[in-house]
Structure 1
């Protein structure tokens, strides 16, 4: 796997984003996205780093926030091939992607949604447009796959869904120009991050805090206790190299014990996805840092 070193001018402090142009932000709805938690994270970002790594990319909220502040050169990874393909197409084929999304916008209906959900797109750009379309029109913006990797979320109840925002996609494309994007499991970050100049942020599938809160069930890739232990060992190895590492997870005895040798910061989050609205509310999470 080819990799060329990346660098940016180190920052002595993280300023507030100021721009006359639209700021980069997530273009996908994603379960567990961190957009609403960033204000609680601000005091815990490292003050200096050159290369940013995010092995569980998801909606990319932290990456896009940092991109509001300065050009971020980094390595973005995820094990989900469809997600990686979307980011790659947003980075490299933005105009063609928006043309296809406009076609989806014009054709949107209940019949069309289920037709697209059952369709296997052939080219990478068609796959990317299909995923964004389904993501913006499905129930709760939830990405969920069956055991065969087939998207299986019903259509949402939106009167006029915003299929895509050209300004948001273009801002995301611009931010992604300085990144390398890979379909990789999280542990391959060990091949790249090696020193205090590197900042790694892990946002893995959360460890379930109850039998009914299995946060890992949204795709075909299960994430069990042994994977959490493997992740902790990866975290510890990176920390031993001097890499600045930050990780989000559920607040429970298992996770607190795993990371007892590191700094654990409580975070208050809103549980947004639950079939019963009465069970959506505040919940404690943890943000763990090596520095």
Structure 2
């Protein structure tokens, strides 16, 4: 097991490429899929979501203002895409995978080899919160390491913007998947990745775009809230502002789909649109025995 001092000395940018970087051609890579875990990720729901996509979606530009883990994007593999998120480190990870996946793999290799013992995890978390590797592949590697080894893949920050999720309890987590990262890089090659809030979409969305909204969900109870992706959270006022953006893009001629909790507040907000229901598994719960199915709504402005 690596000690914190050893972790701090890892030569993350000097590992020989041949030791960790795959050189497989694109045609031999696996189908792209999310390379990080994300609360509310849609990977397991795509079989329910795909039948609800609009006709002709394959010809539309794909716009996703809460990209998160990107399950919808990777499942669709659109030729044209605008992906955005308000989380600057998440956006940096996507850009790094797109533009310098070899550098990310090289930086992640020693971290993966160091393992995920709590002592190691907290040493890496300290480096991340200190801002190490800013605007470099190392920053993306630190983010991916923490995502793969923290509790349930949560991304939560405190009021200072520091990542504060505790270590997870995994025996052998897959921290580095070179082929998966390379496949994601190929899929992202022509994607426009932006750091932006959802309202900034109004300046760039065009008639005929397909826009998928997967915002932080409205809590189903007073104890179920998790909106810690950004330090200021996501309130009911934010949900209402999002609904207003949805209505404006509807008037503009975009095809729109939105996922959220199946609660009266959300149903009332989107009462003028088509609302379908799907079933999803709970992903975040400290008591595994209490995990189960929950209902979610899918809102569309088309039949």
Q: Normalising to structure 2: TM-score of the pair?
A: 0.86
4+ residue runs of structure 1 moved beyond 6 angstroms? none
Query: Can you list the C-alpha shifts for 1:66-125, whole angstroms capped at 9, x where unaligned?
Result: 01xxx4311000000010000000000100110111011122343221111011213322
Q: 1:194 aligns with which of 206, 216, 219?
A: 206
Partner of 1:273: 284
Q: Which residue of 2 aligns with 1:93?
A: 100
Which of 18, 25, 31 lines up with 1:23 in the alignment?
A: 31
Asked if residue 203 in structure 1 is aligned to residue 214 in structure 2, the reply is yes
- What are the Cα deviations for residues 135-154 of structure 1, in whole angstroms up to 9, with x where unaligned? 11111111111111111111
C-alpha separation in 1, matches of 2:145 and 2:219: 29
1:36 aligned residue: 44
Q: Secondary structure at the match of 1:99?
A: helix
Distance 1:217 1:85 in 2: 18
Cα distance in 2 for partners of 1:200, 1:212 equals 30
Deviation at 1:218, TM superposition (A): 4.5
The answer to whether 1:147 aligns with 2:159 is: yes
1:134 aligns with 2:141: no
Alpha-carbon separation, structure 1, partners of 2:200 and 2:143: 26
Task: Give 3-state SS (helix, strand or coil) of 1:254's partner.
Answer: helix
**Alignment correspondent of 2:8:** none
Unaligned runs of 5+ in 2: 1-26
CA distance in 1 between partners of 2:275 and 2:70 (Å) = 22
Q: 2:86 aligned with 1:47, yes or no?
A: no
Aligned Cα root-mean-square deviation (Å): 1.3
CA distance in 2, matches of 1:227, 1:140: 26
Which structure 1 segments of 5+ residues have no match?
A: 1-18
- The worse-fitting range, judged by mean Cα deviation, of 157-166 and 75-84 is 157-166
| Partner deviation per Cα, 1:252-281 (whole Å, 9 max, x = no partner) | 111111101100001111111111223211
**1 CA distance for matches of 2:215 and 2:133?**
29
SS at match of 1:53: strand
Q: What is the CA–CA distance in structure 2 between the aligned matches of 1:173 and 1:88, rounded to whole Å? A: 9
Q: Which moved more, 1:271-280 or 1:103-112?
A: 103-112
Alpha-carbon distance in 2 for matches of 1:182, 1:231: 18
Q: How does 1:1-291 map to 2 (within 5 A)?
A: 21-48=29-56, 49-67=59-77, 71-108=78-115, 109-119=117-127, 120=130, 121-124=132-135, 125-196=137-208, 198-291=209-302
Distance between the aligned counterparts of 2:228 and 2:124, measured in 1?
Answer: 23
Aligned residues of 1:66 and 1:72 also touching (Cα < 8 A) = no
Shift of 1:191: 1.1
**Which secondary structure does the structure 2 equivalent of 1:157 belong to?**
coil
Query: Against the structure 1 CA distance between its residues 83 and 192, is the aligned structure 2 distance closer, same or farther, given a 3 Å change threshold?
Result: same
Using the alignment, how far apart are the partners of 1:273 and 1:231 within structure 2?
24
* Cα deviation, residue 204, structure 1: 0.3
- Pick closer, same or farther for the CA change 1:273–1:227 going to 2, 3 Å: same
Give the 3-state SS of the residue equivalent to 1:209 in structure 2. coil
1-side partners of 2:36 and 2:180: how far apart?
10
Asked if structure 2 preserves the Cα contact closer than 8 Å seen for 1:203 and 1:247, the reply is: yes
